[in-house]
Amino acid sequence: MSTLNKIQRALVSVSDKNGVVDFVRALIEMDVQVISTGGTARSLKEAGIDVINIEQVTGFPEMMNGRVKTLHPRIHGGLLALRDNPEHVKAMTDNDITGIDLVCVNLYPFEQTVAKPGCTLSDAIENIDIGGPSMVRSAAKNHKFVTIVTSPNQYEQVLKEMQKNDGCVSDATRASLARQAFALTAAYDSAISAYLADQAHETYPQRVTISLQRSHELRYGENPHQKAAFYRPAKQTDEPCVANARQLEGGKQISFNNLMDTNAAFDLVREFDQPAAVVVKHMNPCGVAVDQDIIEAYRKAYSADPVSAFGGIIALNRPVNEELADAISESYSRWGKQLGAGGFFAEVIIAPSFDPAAVELIRTRKRWGREDVRLLETGDIDKNKINDKEYDLRCLVGGILLQQRDLVGWEPHQNKVVTKRSPTSDELEDLELAWTVVKHVKSNTIVLAKDRAIVGVGAGQMNRVDAGMLAIRQAKDLAQGSVMASDAFFPFPDNVTQAAKAGITAIVQPGGSKQDQLSIDEAEKHNMAMIFTGKRHFKH
């Protein structure tokens, strides 16, 4: 521990004043001289702490409503000087500059300001910090000699080191704090840039900076040999989603694959206004149903493919009470017994809320209860909070693709019946369900629905005919009288022919093929109804 790094002089200027009084009082108890600015100095003096006002150091008053106060050679010279460089030391002496060994700064609350209803451009501009980031960067650049503190969360660590080591902070800690400081200023500039781009209505500006903060490390990634962590943007969405969900006590940490699958399940279930249940396995829905009764919706969704549902993700858009928890236990216990696997096995259940009795039943019920099932509460689903400005990101080696989220759903006013026969009211309900689900299945995909439940899914196939064949094979006898949805148009009528042979009565597809008429004619031949939506739903 070098005595060169002993903290003797500190500059404190914070917007977030949580804990700053105790922090500065502890510094002064260790004989540290403290310089402070504006509101921070007032708060400290009101607490009975004597500090040096910034103008006593610079020789200039704070001016222009506080815009100019720390941008001065006696401040930045004290931060940037290399204490082991004779020329720097001489310049300090010649210009009456004293070194500053610790800087405690957090920045104007720009993101909090622009998030407030009614925030004007003028309000936002006034909350762009200039002096703060300048001091942070100067101190972080010279972290060989200067300790930079940018968050109340760092106060305890710094004080403990100083108290243990005669007022010194270790090289490793100073380097770590500097890294965090540069990440902070980068995120701050990113938020400002994004806000100004939004004000100018630039959907895809020339340069996009994505600032993320680590939430927590994961056990591993998609496979055990891959490390992984979960990161969140500095400006967090308030929409109900997996990232905002609260994990109820109990259950092991949610994994990389669990997060991906749970996001896929919840993203689909919140599409529905009616009570709905979704079961997802490996990013694809294997069961989806709607009903006036959420318990019936769950039973229909689970029954669509119980083999795949075992060990999957359950998503519900209604609260889970004891009766619903019992229905889940009954289905999983029965199927688990048939497989010889014993009790309950679902990785995650995500829903707006869970009654205490339901949690107890899921955790402890004999034969199927599991303490390690993850229960995630999202709060009430409010579609008005869906953030349509959030990017959908896809990573390539060496680059990232950005696109708008696919938020298009069932649009009755845009749909066009292209056959002589229109769908019946029952068929129309099933077509809406199938079309909603097809958006959430990996392409190429075909989805079959019947009685407001999915009965067959053909996902991720290289051609649409095979996707249709898989969906029909999965549906078995339930294909008779079902409806079909395709995520993209039919280039040939072969899918329609295959559907007719299986007894499918109606089809919804985007349309737009040069040979649409061949598919329409084939549907007419078998008295099938067909709807064109004009929108496709590829999902890669």
Amino acid at 327: A
88, 144, 282, 385: the active-site residue: 282
Supply 404's token pair. Answer: 């708008």
User: Locate tokens 């598919």: which residue?
Assistant: 519
Q: Are 55 and 75 in contact (CB under 8 A)?
A: no
Q: Cα-flanking dihedrals φ and ψ of residue 348, to 5°?
A: -145, 140
| Strand 276-281 to 284-290 pairing | antiparallel
CA distance 107 to 129: 6
- In terms of C-beta distances under 8 Å and separation of at least 24 residues, what long-range contacts does 427-435 make, across chains too? 427/483, 427/505, 427/506, 427/529, 430/482, 430/483, 430/506, 431/483, 431/485, 431/506, 431/508, 431/531, 433/288, 433/289, 433/290, 434/483, 434/484, 434/485, 434/508, 435/410, 435/485, 435/508, 435/533
Measured in whole angstroms, the distance separating CA 2 from the mean position of its chain's CA atoms is: 43
Token pair, residue 252, equals 């092991």
282 is catalytic: yes
Q: Is 125 left (phi over 0), alpha (psi -120 to 50) or beta?
A: alpha
DSSP, residue by residue, 27-73: HHHTT-EEEE-HHHHHHHHHTT---EEHHHHHSS--BTTTTBSS-SH
Catalytic residue among 6, 88, 141, 144: 141
Distances (CA, A) of 523 to 350, 482, 527, 533: 40, 14, 6, 16
Of 73, 42, 43, the residue nearest 60 (C-alpha): 73
Residue 392 Ramachandran class (φ > 0 left, ψ -120 to 50 alpha, else beta): beta
Task: Check the CA dihedral 302-303-308-311 and report its sign.
Answer: positive
Query: Among 422, 392, 380, 370, which residue's Cα sits nearest to residue 245?
Result: 380
Checking phi first, is residue 403 left (phi over 0); if not, alpha (psi -120 to 50) or beta? beta
Task: Measure the CA–CA gap between 187 and 235, rounded to whole angstroms.
Answer: 10
Across 37-54, b (16+ Cβ under 10 Å) vs e yields beebbebbeeeebebebb
Q: How far apart are CA 130 and CA 70, in angstroms?
A: 9
**How far is Cα 277 from Cα 319, in angstroms, rounded to an integer?**
11
Question: Coil, helix or strand for 99?
Answer: coil
Structure tokens at 503: 């007894």
The whole-angstrom separation of Cα 163 and Cα 151 is 19
Angle in degrees, CA 324, 328, 332, rounded to 5? 170
C-alpha to C-alpha distance for 34 and 129, rounded to whole angstroms: 22
Could you give the residue numbers annotated as active site? 141, 282
